[in-house]
Structure formats: C-alpha cells, structure tokens
Structure 1
Amino acid sequence: MNGKKVDYLMLNGKDFFKGNNRIMLDNLPYYTVDKLQFFNKRSERSQLVGKDIERPDFVMNVKLKQEYSIGYMGNVEAGAGTHERWMGRGFALRFTDNSRLSLYGNVNNINEQRRPGGDGSWGQSDNPEGDTDTYNVGGELFIDDKQERYKEVLNASLMWNRSRNEQRTASQQFIQQGDAFGYSDSESTKRGFALNVKNHLTLKRIGLISESKFDYTDYDDDVLARSVQFSKQQNEGVEQIMDSIFSTNQSSEMLKYMVNNVQDATNGNGHKWTVEQKFDYHKALPWGDDLMLTAKGLWNGTKDDGNSHYQLKYADEETPDDFQERLTKGKSNSYNLNFGVNYAIHFLTDWHLNFSFAHNQYHSDEDNKLYRLDWDENYRPEEMLPSVTDYLHLLDADNSPHSVNTQREEHITASLHRHNYDSNRGRYFSFTTALNACYSWQDGVYTRGKNTARPSDYRWLFRPSVDFEYQTRKWHDTYSIHYDTDMRPLNLSQVADLTDTSNPLAVQMGNPDLSPSTVHNFSFLFSSRFGTHGQFVMLRSSASIMDNLVAVNSIYNENTGAYTYMPVNVNGNWSSRTSLDLRRDLTADRNLNVESSTSYGYLHSVDMKDNERSTVVQHIIGQNLKLEYKHRLFTLALMGGISWNGMRQADIDDINNVDFNYGANVQVDLPLKIRLSSDIKMYSRRGYADRSLCTDDLLWNAQISRPFCRGRLLVATKAFDILHQISSTHTTFNSQGRIETWQLSLPSYFMLSVQLKFNKNPEKK
C-alpha cells in the first residue's frame, strides 16, 4: 500500500492462510466485505512478552460485515475452452469469531494467474514454463481459544502436476582464442506429486510456540536434449540449426565450423521427504527481562534414479566419438539440529540489550553411483534395463562420489535495539545493531573410486549488522537503512581435490586452496506521501561488494569444445541498483493519475577464463509509465516501458539488448450488468544474437462477464492471446558469456466459465 509491502492478510483480525494471500483474494465474495484496514501488528513474539521486541508486521485486515461474521461461505467455478483447455475450482469456509475451517480445490491446464483487463504483463513469473496440468487440494483449520489459552493453525495441501515443455537456447562463451557459440533445444515431460502439512500451536499462557512441518515430493521426468557447438556464430535461428545438424541433409557450411554435437535422452525419477520441528519458549521475568529458548530439528532424505542414452560426436576426426549408456542411483540423508538461548534486558527508555548463544549441528551422507551399461558388450539399448546383479560390475567408480559432511557452529550474538511504536501520532522508530561471532567446524570425507579427500575448515566468522527505520507524519514518511557483513564458510565439496569426468564436455575439478568469501550489503529506502493530490515518492538503493568471491575458472579446448572447470577466488565483484517510483493525481477529483518507475542497475563481474582474469561491466536501465483514468462506468489505462541491457568487455563487441512495450487496458460497465475487461500490449525485442528472438508480439486478452442472482452467479467468457502471438524469451549475462532462451508458452484459447458463490448465516434472534 502506497509503496509499503503488506506482509500478510488477515480475516476479521485473525490469520488466514498466512503466506498464501491468493486464496483469500480469489475466493472471498466482495459483497461480504465491510472494509479494508491497514495497520502495523505486533509480532507473535512481541505479543507473548507484552512489549515490542522486534519489528511489527504491516498487515491488511479484511473486515466482514456483521451478518457474515458467523456461518458458511464458498464458491465453485468450472470452465471449458478451445484447444482442450479446462479449469475447475471450489472453496468452502465454515467460520465463527474464534474458529475457521477452510477447504479448497483447483484443477486446470491453463497454468497462469493473469486476468484480462490487468496490465498485460507477460514475464517469466507470469508465464510458468510449458503446458501444465495441475490438480491441487488443501485446507486450513484455525482455532483461537476464547479464553486466550492457545491458538492452533493446521494447514495441509496435496498437488499433482504434469507438464510438457520445449526450450531453445543460443549462447556465446567469451574465449580469448575466439568465442564459442552454442545452440540447444530440449523437449520434456515432467510428472510430480507434493504433500505439505504444517501445524502451528501457540500456548499463550506459558509462552510456548510449536511449529511442525512435513513435506514430501516425488517426480518422474523424461527429457530429450540436443546441443551443437560452433567456432563461428550462425545466422540462422536455433530451430533451423538443430534441424540441419541432426538430419541426414546436413549443411556443409555449418559443418565447417562445427566443433561437436550431443544428443541425450534421459529419464529420472525419485522422491524427497523433510520433517521439521521447532519449539520457541518465551518467558517474561518478574524483574522485566525476557528469556527465550529455542530448539529446532530438521531431517530429510532423497532418492534419485535415472538412465541416459548419451551420444557425443566430434568434428575433429582425430578425437573418437563417445557413446554412453548411463544408469544412476543416488540417495542422501541429512539432519540439522539447533539449540539456542536468548536473554533480553529491557530498559525504561525503550532500549533493549540482547545476548544469545546457539549451537547448530549439520550432518549429511550422500551416495551417487554411475553405471556404464555400454561397457557390457552384450547390452542392447532397446532392451529393458538389466537387473541389479547384472550391472553391479559396470560401476564407474571414479564418477560415483560418496560424501560425508559434518558441520558444527557455535553462535554468540550481542545486539542493542530500540523499538518505539506510537499509534496515536503515527510514528515508529527502530534501531538495531548486532554482532554475531560464529566458530565453525567442518569435516568432510569425499570419495571417488580409489581417491579420497578429507577437507576440513575451522574458523571464526563475524557478521555485524545495523538496521534503522523511522516512520513519521501519520506513517506518511519512511526512512530505512540497512548494512550487514556476511562472512561465509567454505564449501567443502569445492575444496575436495577430486575430479569429476562423468560429462566429457564439462570436467569438474576441486580446489584445496580456496579461501572463504565475504559479502558486504547496503540498502537505503525513502518514501513519502504528501500534498492533496495523492503524491507519492519512493527512492530505493542497494549495493553489494564481494571479497574473495568463489568464481569458476573455465579452460576451453578448441578442438573438442570441452571445458574444464575449477572454483577460484576473485576480487572486484560488486553490484548496485537504484530505483525511483512516483505517483500523482492530475485532477482534483483524483480520477486521473500518473505513475512512473525508473531503475538503474550496475554489475561489475570478475571471473576467470583460461587462467586469466575476465571483467564484464553490465548496465541495466528501465523505465515504466502508466496513465490511468477512472470514471463511474469505466477505467482506462495507458502504459509503456523500456528496458536496455548493455554489456561491455575488453576485446568483445558490445552487447545491447532492448525490450520495450506499450499498450492499454480497460474495464467497462455496459448496460444489462455486463462488464467488459480487456488488455492489449505490444512486446518488442531488439539486439538479440538469435535473430528469431527479435520479434514484435501483440498480446490481446479480453473477458465479458455478467452477474446473476444478486452477484451470486457469474458467467464469463475469457479470451487469452486472441492474436496468437505469445512467446517467452529472456537473456542472461555474466563474465563468461550470454545465453538467450526461448520457451514454450501456453497456446491461445477461449473459455466459458460459470461461478457460483454461496453463504449461509444463522438467523437473527
């Protein structure tokens, strides 16, 4: 709200699917809502000790009309459309002043959350990958005892999904002896299942909080991936290149510059489970101080099996092609135990002094076996997989790693903070400075065949931080500053002096000479609402400086196209980002307003290539504008945006990508209670190496709806991508190179849906 992020939503002053706001927004009938309230709410820990010991949450409370505060409520919706699109969902809620039982279900194959008449955005977050069928059910039980003895919240959900995806990429790797250009495509079918259960119990009178979680997921994936590498950039698109290389009529011009090509068909399946239990005990002592005890345990296990039909062909006639039939068996188990004590001294001047000690212990055991079925002269790929006894002698021991890792940490933390919350004057002040000193023990045993590495790391890690936040003028102005230093322990798997050659084109080596990294983070925020025209301004800035960052040194073999990778320490990496958001009403009646968002990002990236330092400077500039007019019968908005992504590196041609868009959306109330919602936006891309990605896509969505039965029945016709123009592309840069990616998008479709809302409330006495 007004640039301030809402932490979570509440219903009638109580938590409601905390962390999943979409459930309330999608299912609560508008006619039951009395008003929306925005305010700062004491955290649960602060409530238990009766004073503000940490930052309050900023929440939105949906207050229901009195007649809907007790009873039943729900809705069901079903829809069918062209191109075999379908959806259905249901929601039911039984509630009183102190309890709530909610159930929901959702089935669909449209896998997206946009609504016609919105801003028309179509980014990666708006367009999940591929074409997905989803089946999802869940529920929540909420009880808040009338006598204030306890609060119980139980959540559970089940989800099944099946997705089909296609992806094409074009990449450029910056190499001193001449860049390498890669092109790839893939087709995949993925099936998954997930079970999530969470229980939150608060015993208010004794100050005990218990959180229990159980998560289980499994998967079954089939992927066909193809790739080709050239010493010269190709002018054709990825689709044309792949069709030419992997066909009988290969282009002689392409073959002249080809280095290698790979075709890999894989199947993988497995599961993962996680159990977590946490206890927090808070005790307000008679003399005014507080004691907090914490205990947390987390256990998880995984099992992964797979098989792969791998074919690698080299253009270099002196290098033999590589054909592999792989069978993989992997499993892992780990636990993480944490115990802590915190003592807080409270002064009369709103200052608080905290001392804490925590012990953390982590242990993992991971085993991955690779079997080379092609080593058996009698094996035939078209036959069924062999039995266990038949492939045990085909173990590739050098590429079958087994690791055992144990880590212990002792944390000593001292912090000084002040929290002052004045609801009458609309002020909030918070200042915290803390120093965490951690002594870290790490011991590992890593084995590959006859080679064993026993890396260890023992060191002190210091992590100071400072936080300041000040709100004033009835919450109109906000100032916020943050700084922290994060000293990171070594990753022992990178330190182990072992080599992984399971992928002939990507050999991985360890580096026992690695040093730990340190990251310094800084952020600043200022926001203000002022004047009588709804004026709002927000300035945000952040920066990160990375010392001894662990990068990857890549050595390229120009004859085979293979890379050898080794982690190394580099200095000189830092990044920053600044943004300015503005809003203002242009008319006295506030019907016309304008919004602007400007951002600039800078990335100074240092890496290693062929044992030499490589530096890339990246600039990202963005600008978005929106003009909106609200009338009694309609709302109209015009919008546009541009993003320029430029990269500079010595001895490399500058790279400049420009994405820009412009469009409009409208919502109109027509006669006969008909409502029309529509958005249209042009997306344009320029500067991509793959010419097929330089496109102009005009996206148009629309919806016509009409309510019946006093708003309880809604009939709607929705049309997505009316002009059949959706495409999903994005690009990434770093000091090693750039990657441009195209991904399968949901096809256009029309859908007719019917939604029924219902409620039942007790009769007035």
Structure 2
Amino acid sequence: MFNRFLVALVFSTISLISYSQEFSVSGKLIDRDSKLPLEAATVFVESVKDSSLITYTISDKFGVFELKGSTQASKVNLYISFVGYKPYEKLIAIEENRNLKLEAISLSEQIESLGDVVIQGRRAPISIKKDTLEFNVASFKTKKDANVEDLLKELPGVEVDEQGNITVNGKPVNKILVNGKPFFGNDPTIATRNLTKEIVDKIQVTDTKTDSEAFNNEAGDDQNKTINITIDEEKNKGIFGRVAAGGGTDERFEYAGLLNYFDNDLRISALSGGNNINSPGFSFGEIQKMFGNVNYMSISSNGTLNFGGRVFGGGEGITNSRTAGVNYADDIGEKVEISSDYFYSASNSYEDKIRNRENILPERRYFSNLVSNSNSNSDNHAININLKTKIDSTFLIEFKPKFNYTNGDSRYQSSEETLNMEEELTNSSSTNNQAIREGKNFKGDLSLNKRYGSNGGFVKLSIENELNDTDNDNFSQSETLIFGDTPQEILRDQFTDGNQQTNAIEINTNVRVPLLAKKLFMDVEYGFKNQDKDDAQLVYDLDQNLDTYSILNVDQSTDFTNVDRTSRPEIGITYDVDKVRIRLNTGYVFRTLKSDDALRAINFTNDFNAIEFSGNIRYKFSEKTSLYTGFGISNNVPGIRQLSPYIDVSDPLNIVQGNPDLKPAKSHYLYLNLNNYDFQTRTGMYTYININVDNDKVVSRSIIDPSFIRTTTYDNVDGYYQIYANTNYSKNIALDSLRTLNLDVGIGLNASRNVNFNNDVKYASRNFSYSPKLGFRFIWKELFEFRPNYELSYTSNNFDIDNFEDRNFVRHELRLRTITFYPKKLEWNNDIKYNINPDVAPGFETSSVFWNSSLAYSVLKDQGTITFKVYDLLNQNTNSQRTATQDYIQDMESTVLERYFMLGFSYKFNTLGKKGETRKSNFWFD
C-alpha cells in the first residue's frame, strides 16, 4: 500500500509541475553611488491587467535576484523596494522572453523616508529590516473568514501543527504579541485562532527577547521566535468577536465566546468557554482540537505501544473544562504601558482503569494487576500584570506581579494484587483516598535598566520574590496483605494535614562595559537566590474510641524546614557585528542545601561548589542562511528529597529513602543548528544536532524482596549520553495563480545510552531510533486542499544484561487531511490517521483508522456558520494499550472519549474600520 502511495505521489507531482507555464527574470541590484551590491531587497512582479501579485524574491548577498513564477499574462510590472532607497518600477514583456536577464539595476538613496510604505498601494509582500522579517498581510490570499492561524500557514517558512504550535524556518515560536503587547498570557492559540485576518496589517517575526533585552539592545534567544501581529490602523478601533455553541450525542457539548474592544492603544478583551470533549483551553471547536488528548495516538483500536519514553497511546479519562478571562492593555501617556489579564479555569475529570503488568527482574518475573477509578475537581484563578515605565530614553522600570489561587478535591480508589511466576498471590492492597487542596501564590518581578553612553553600555538589576502557601487535607483508608512465610496485615485509617510554605527571593545584577564601541562587550554579573521552605505532612491515625483523627503517627509524619541558597558570580565576553555574534561566559556556583526535621534527628547540610561554562556562536552566511552553535558545562544538584536520609513508609509496598552522599550531575552539551530559507526558490532546510553527556547522573536504585516489597534509594552513575539529530527540507511550488504544491521531507535520529538499576543489578541500555517522514500539501484556491503525510518510526533497544530481551519496534502512520470549499458556502474538513504496528502482542490489532470530520455552512451573509462534526467516525478509540519497557510489559484499559456527533452554530460580529470589510488591496499572493 505504501509503495503505491509513494508512486502516486511522485507521478502526481510531476504531472502538476509539467502542467504549469513558467518564466524567470534575473538581475543584480547595486547602490547608484558606491556600486556595492544590495542584499535583502524585495523584488516582485504584478499582473498588468489586475495588479495581482504573481511572485516575489529577495536579493542575495551579491545583490543577485532571480524571479521564477507562472502566469498567463503577456506583460508584467516589475517592482523593487529596499529600505532607505527609492523604489524601482519597470514594465516587462515576458511573452517575448520567458527567461529574461536584466542588466545591473542601480538604486539611489531615499532622502526623505517614506516609512514602511515604499510605493503607495504596492507594499512589498515581504521585507527584511535588520533582524525583523516582515510580511505584508494583503499579499497573501487565504480562504474567506480566515483567522491568523490560517494566514500563518500561507507565509513562506512558517508551519503550524494541529495543536497550534508554530515554527518559523524550523525554530519554535514561544511568544505571540498583538501590537507589541501580550494577549491572554501564554496560550498563543487565543490570538491566532480568534483574531481574524481581515484586521491584520503586518506579521513581524523576530528572535525572542525580554523587554529588558530589547531596551538594552541585547541579543535575544536565537533558538526561539516571537510573532507580533500588527493591527491595521484603520481597523484598530471598534468591537469585534464571536460566539459559538454546540451539542451532541452522549451528552457532549461545547460553547465559547470572545469579545474585543480596540481603540488604538486601548485594548479590552473578554472570553468564556467550556466543553466536555477533552479540549482544555479555549477554542471554537475547530477540527484541529477534536483529537483532544489523543493527538499522539498510534494504535488505539485494540493496542498501543509505549517504548523507551516514546508514547503511542490514546487519551485517558473524560474532562469537563471551563474557562473565562479578561485582558486589558493601554498606554498611559507617553511613558507608561500596562497590560494585564485575569483568567479563570476549572475542570472535572473522571477515569476508570484496569492494568495488568508483567514485571521483569534479572533473576525472575512477577505479575501485578490493578483496578482503579478516580474523580477530580479543580478551580484556578490567575491575575497577571505587566507595568512598564520609561523614565527617559535611557531608563526603563518594569514590574510584573502575578497572583494565583487554586482549590480542588479528588477521590481515588484502587485494588491491586501481586503474583509470583507460579501465579501464587504474594501481596494485595486496596486504598480509598479523598483529598482537598488549596493553594495561594504570589510572584513579583522588578527590573531596572539603565543605558549609559552611546556604545552599548548598560546596568541592569532584577529582583524577584515568590511566596507560596499550599494546604492539603487527605483522608486515606488502606488495607495491605503480605503472604508467605511471614504474613502481615497492615490496616490504616488516617488523616494527613499537609502544609507547604515557600519564600524565595532572587537578585541578579549585570553591568555591560563596552570594550570596542558597539562591537565588543564585557559583562560582569552576580546572581543570588535563597529559598526557604517549610513542608509539614502530619499524619494522624483514627482513634476509634473518640472517632477522631487524633493519634499522631510519627513514623509517617514529617516537618521539614529546607533552605536552598545559591550564589553565582560570572563574567562574559560578547562580540557582535553584522554577521557574527560570539558569547563566552563562565561562572562559579556556590550552592547550599539544608534540611531540618522537627520530628526526628534527621538533619543535613550539603555544599556544592562547581565551575560552569557556556558559549554560543551565530554566523550569518547571508540573509537566508545562518549557523548557530552552543556548548557548555552545567551542574544539576539533587533534590532535597533525594538527599534526605528520612525513610518514607507511606506506601508499605514501596519504601523510599534518600542518599545524603549524592553528588551533583555534571552535564556537557553541544548543539548545532543550520537554517536556510531561499526566498527565490521557496526552498527551506534546517538541521539540528544536539549532544548531551552526563556524569554522576542521579537514578533510582531499588531492591525487591521475595514478597515483592520494593525499597528504593538513589545513586550516581556515569556513562549516560544522548545524540539527537533532525533535518527537514521543504519546497513551495506555485503551479499557477490558483494551485500550489508544498513538499516536506524530514528525518529524526536518536541514539542514547542509559545506566540504571534493576533489583540492585546495574545495567546499561543502548537505544537507537529513526523516524523519516514525507508529505505534501496541494492547494487549489477556493476549491480544495489535499494534505497526505507518511511517517515511519523504528526503535531498537539493546541491554547488557542477559535476562533482558533486546527489542525492535516498527510503526507506520499514514495521515490524510483534506478541506473542500465546494459548493461556495460549504467547507468540509477531514482528518484521518491510519496506523500500523506489526510488533504488538498476539490478540492485539496491528492497525487502526482514526477519522474526524466536520461540515461548516456559512449563513447570514457569512457572519453565521452552522457546523456538524463527528469525532472518531469509525469508533475505534477503545484505548486498550500495550506498553513495553526494559522493566515491564503492561496491558491497560481506561476510560476514553468515544465517538460522538455534534451540531453547532457560531456567529461573528465586527465594527472595526468600515464595518469590518476587508480593505481592497492591489494584489494577492499565490
């Protein structure tokens, strides 16, 4: 089947490309006075007939450009724009020469800046301004009623997955801004899926920076990107929003509403939503979120696979979630900016589970069977404020307070039994737990930034304080039976009064001294952090005479006072010019961990001192190709629980004791990232390699006795490493003004060595995996979209211990996503996953098909939409899973979201600009 699919893909691609009529225009751009080449100028051509955009490109470091495109037009207009230079325009008759080579084109400097508008009504579709990549939204055609996410999918080098995660030229986007300000915290999909394209003027992409880094002109995070959505000034005043609701079979429902008021700098937004279809967060029921927690499903019909941390399983449990929030942003005068939001979220979840596990020890095996059910409820209130004050052009003060309040309750019941290889019962247990929790958190971050001189010097001071207070009340009844030569019966009826209070303060200072004006800098930094934590877990047994929980169980109770103090002086050198940025940094860490137990004489103080080093280099070969590399040595200190010699007997079948002699893990890392996107050929490629080597890695070390009671402590091991590499190639082919083909090919490689213990026997495992993928996306504008993908995953695990079996697993996933826009007002979405796993155990299905589908019909002049959608059309999500690791083989069944049908309606409203009408532009991008 897969061979036929690949052959069909190749022949379809060849036939589509051969059908298109192509042309090319090439030339070179130079400065009129200096005769030097002009890099990163935008060159584009429009149709003479209707001014529609045909194609565009960016000049390279030699000023050379080559436009390639397809058109039926006999004549086209050539436009060239470059920041700071006068625009260029030329009429070209391409019917006379479809491979036109122009002589060198000279551009003269623009004496008076025209700002962003180079040619009235003919803004370049894409421009590069220093480190900012800017897209002119009007140039990129999308479907009607498109949101920002639909727009992003059309931008060259930008990819958006089903969860709304965005990458630009292979780098993840970790921040979304609207007019330079945050929009509802850290969930980017609230902005990208709910703001419409029609109000957006520009999309700007930059390296992610904090406000302090931007103010001080520091280099940002070159491994992550920020997208700023710039609202059209003509449409930045008014009210817009959307409401939606749906109901379905099996009592499934969802609802959502978003209201926005924009008045230039003032922005007020409110949202509310809820559903019981395992779609946490906020959405209007898009098909992308219909998978809920099963986005990573592999085999969900009658079996799934989890190996070596790679999860191929369905979602568990049913969640009823609710959200509501308000966002406010404004500029107060010319010096003060404020943005804030309040967010409320709540959920109710339940799950039933059956688990049968075969546990593997070096000398024998045993079996454990578990039946459990759980219910939980939670409420969360969060307030975030960001206040920025510019005292003057050189002095910035920023204050970010955050408040969070949570409360909830949960109930958990379980029954478990353990059997030996002869299937004789060795122990059993049953539990019934009820818990109530409440938490309050405050975090305040104050930052002061002062620039001095004109060569890049600054002084920065940041102070962060966090206060946390958490109460936990837990009622627990349990019965544990241990059989064999020394049988035991352990009955517990207890109440645990838990309280955790944390007070942490962190102070960081940085003085940057220019050594060579705006090129070479020395950073002198000092960081101090102190965390005081009181952690009391007081366990009371039931006094049956008084029928109250009044007998303190000292063996199971703890009352720790913990101190974690870190001091770190460091010095760094930064060299930053146009194409090269090098940063080297070294520091010495003084860290103290201290723990006192008020209930027993178990106290310890551990001091950890170590040198750390880091460096990173960025080299820009051109505006389209960059190389990033980083390297360093870091230390990971064990947690206090891992160090504490306290013996935790809260679970009679799993006793845990820390090891105060643990050493910090030393991690050596190296990464390499090569990014290339050629705007001339619409070709992108990125390669990422990451290597980690750890010494003194902290791992758990367990001993299991003949009754299968586990005693666990911790130890240091050497010999861990991980090598990960990933490369991806993409190609965008404009077949004509209506049809586009996007190709995507990639492969991921992973090799690692782990050292662990199994029943106190030390062993090493070597893991190797690779996962090639192939896909394409064929778009016929306003008619349909066809997007098949194929991915193969191969995993191999080898062990240096005889009783562990080496294992190899292969998994295939074929996915097909389609959208049709015919008839005119109807949109039909399908998302189909076909999985094959030939390595599952007998009795489990080797394949499954998971199919979601939705129909949307526009009414009320396209302001209303009637939707009908089906989740798991073939009803194959039974969530019976098989999991295999080096320590056990496990079969599990749990509650899952099953097939449902849902009918819904949404309505949008818009008073921005001229009643929200899309401003007419002079061209579209194809």
TM-score bracket relative to the smaller structure: 0.7 to 0.9
Match of 2:517 in 1: 348
| Shift of residue 41, structure 1, vs aligned partner | 7.1
Is this contact kept in 1: 2:674–2:688, CA < 8 A? Answer: yes
SS in 1 for 2:171: coil
Contact 1:304 1:330 (C-alpha < 8 Å) held by counterparts: yes
**Superimposed CA distance per residue, residues 279-307 of structure 1 (whole angstroms, 9 cap, x where no aligned partner):** 11011124752111111111101111112
Residue in structure 1 matched with residue 90 of structure 2 by the alignment: none
1:425 is matched with: none
Structure 2 vs 1, CA of residues 434 and 286 (structure 1 numbering), >3 Å: closer, same or farther? same
Q: 1:349 to 1:582 in 2, by over 3 A?
A: same
Partner of 2:795: 645
- Among candidates 895, 904, 912, match of residue 753 of structure 1: 904
In structure 2, the residue matched to 1:212 is: 401
Give 3-state SS (helix, strand or coil) of 2:193's partner: helix
Supply the AA of the counterpart residue of 1:670. Answer: Y
AA of the residue aligned to 2:720 = N
In the superposition, relative to structure 1, how do residues 706 and 264 fare at CA in structure 2: closer, same or farther (>3 Å)? same
The DSSP-based 3-state class of the residue aligned with 1:711 is coil
The residue that corresponds to 2:757 in the other structure is 608
Which residue of 2 is the match for residue 461 of structure 1?
610
Q: TM-score, normalised by structure 1?
A: 0.88
What SS does the corresponding residue of 2:287 show, helix, strand or coil?
coil
Which of the numbers 168, 189, 198 marks the counterpart of 1:31? 198
State yes or no: 1:525 paired with 2:673: yes
Distance 1:265 1:604, change over 3 A: same
Q: Provide the C-alpha distance between the structure 2 equivalents of 1:562 and 1:614, rounded to a whole number of angstroms.
A: 21
Structure 1: 5+ residue runs without aligned partners?
A: 233-254, 380-385, 423-427
Check the 8 A contact 1:55/1:419 in 2, yes or no: no
Which residue of 1 is the match for residue 923 of structure 2?
A: none
Alpha-carbon spacing, 1:760–1:115, altered in 2? closer, same or farther (3 Å): closer
Residue 594 of structure 1 deviates from its aligned partner by 2.3
CA distance in 2 between partners of 1:710 and 1:77 (Å): 17
Aligned-pair CA distance for 1:430: 2.8
1:331 maps onto 2:499 in alignment: yes
CA deviation after TM superposition for structure 1 residue 414, in Å: 0.7
CA distance in 2, matches of 1:117, 1:272: 33
Cα separation, partners in 2 of 1:203 and 1:14, compared to 1, 3 Å: same
Alpha-carbon spacing, 1:87–1:17, altered in 2? closer, same or farther (3 Å)? same
**What SS does the corresponding residue of 2:550 show, helix, strand or coil?**
helix
**CA offset at residue 278 of structure 1?**
1.2
Counterparts of 1:378-393 in structure 2 under 5 Å?
386=547, 390-393=548-551
Q: 1:676 aligns with which of 828, 837, 842?
A: 828
1:721 aligns with 2:872: yes
The answer to whether the 8 A contact 1:604-1:617 is kept is yes
Cα deviation code 1:320-360 (max 9, x no counterpart): 23332232221111111122321111231522211011221
Contact 2:174/2:208, CA 8 A, preserved across alignment: no
Q: Paired residue for 2:184? A: 17
Structure 1 residue 29, shift from structure 2 partner: 2.7
Mapped to 2, the partners of 1:607 and 1:140 lie a distance apart of 48
Q: Distance in 2 between matches of 1:82 and 1:592?
A: 38
Amino acid at match of 1:296: E
Q: Deviations over 1:559-579 (max 9, x none)?
A: x11111111111112222111
CA contact (8 A) 1:605 1:734 kept: no
Instruction: Report if the CA contact (8 A) 2:751-2:766 is conserved.
Output: yes
Q: Name the amino acid aligned to 2:528.
A: H
Q: Give the aligned partner of residue 564 of structure 1.
A: 711
Partner deviation per Cα, 1:652-695 (whole Å, 9 max, x = no partner): 12233333221312101112411111122222334346x56655
Unaligned runs of 5+ in 2: 1-167, 298-310, 916-926
Q: Is the contact made by 1:688 and 1:740 (CA closer than 8 Å) also made in structure 2? A: no
CA distance in 2, matches of 1:461, 1:269: 41
**Contact 2:809 2:839 survives alignment (8 Å):** yes
Corresponding position of 1:244: none
The equivalent residue for 1:619 is 768
CA distance in 1, matches of 2:470, 2:332: 39
Aligned-pair distance for 1:209? 0.7
Q: Determine the C-alpha separation between the residues in 2 that align with 1:360 and 1:557.
A: 43
Q: 1:403 to 1:669 in 2, by over 3 A?
A: same
Q: Which residue of 2 aligns with 1:252?
A: none
For residue 116 of structure 1, the aligned residue among 287, 291, 306 is 287
The 5-angstrom pairing of residues 22-421 of structure 1 reads 22-40=189-207, 43-49=210-216, 51-55=217-221, 58-112=225-279, 115-116=286-287, 122-123=295-296, 129-145=316-332, 147=334, 149-205=335-391, 206-232=395-421, 256-286=423-453, 288=455, 289-316=457-484, 318-346=486-514, 347-373=516-542, 376=543, 386=547, 390-393=548-551, 395-420=552-577
- Superposed displacement of residue 731, structure 1: 7.2
Partners of 1:186 and 1:223 within 8 A in 2 = yes
Letter in 2 for 1:364: K
Larger Rg: 2
Match in the other structure for 1:240 = none
Deviation of 1:266 after TM superposition, in Å, equals: 1.2
| Number of positions where the alignment pairs a residue of Structure 1 with one of Structure 2 | 717
Q: Which residue of 2 aligns with 1:250?
A: none
Q: Is residue 185–residue 341 contact of structure 2 (8 Å, CA) maintained in 1?
A: no
> What do residues 507-560 of structure 1 show as CA deviations (whole Å, max 9, x unaligned)?
1123232222211222211122238543222211112111111111111112x1
**Cα distance in 1 between the residues matched to 2:574 and 2:873:** 56
Aligned-pair CA distance for 1:502: 2.2
Equivalent residues of 1:536, 1:584 under 8 A apart? yes
Greater Cα shift, 642-651 or 699-708: 642-651
* Identity %, equivalent residues: 18
Task: Give the structure 2 partner of residue 495 of structure 1.
Answer: 643
Output the CA distance in 2 between the equivalents of 1:228 and 1:694.
Answer: 27
Q: How does 1:500-515 map to 2 (within 5 A)?
A: 500-515=648-663
Paired residues of 2:209 and 2:219 also in contact (CA < 8 A): no
RMSD after superposition = 2.7
Q: How has the CA–CA distance of structure 1 residues 68 and 349 changed in structure 2, closer, same or farther, with 3 Å as cutoff?
A: closer
Report the residue type matching 1:139 in the other structure: V
Equivalent pair of 1:505/1:563 in contact (CA under 8 Å): yes
Q: Aligned equivalents of 1:728 and 1:459: distance in 2?
A: 46
Bigger drift between 507-516 and 51-60 goes to 51-60
Report if aligned partners of 2:772, 2:792 keep a CA contact under 8 Å in 1.
yes
**Counterparts of 1:762 and 1:596, CA distance in 2:** 42
* Cα 1:497–1:531 shift into 2, 3 Å: closer
Task: Tell me how far apart the structure 1 counterparts of residues 843 and 626 of structure 2 sit (CA, whole Å).
Answer: 46
Alignment of 1:534-553 (within 5 A): 534-553=682-701
Secondary structure of 1:369's aligned partner? strand
User: Matched residues in 2 for 1:17 and 1:419: separation?
Assistant: 34
Alignment pair present for 1:634 and 2:784? yes
Deviations 1:251-281 (A, max 9, x none): xxxx734433322221111112111111110
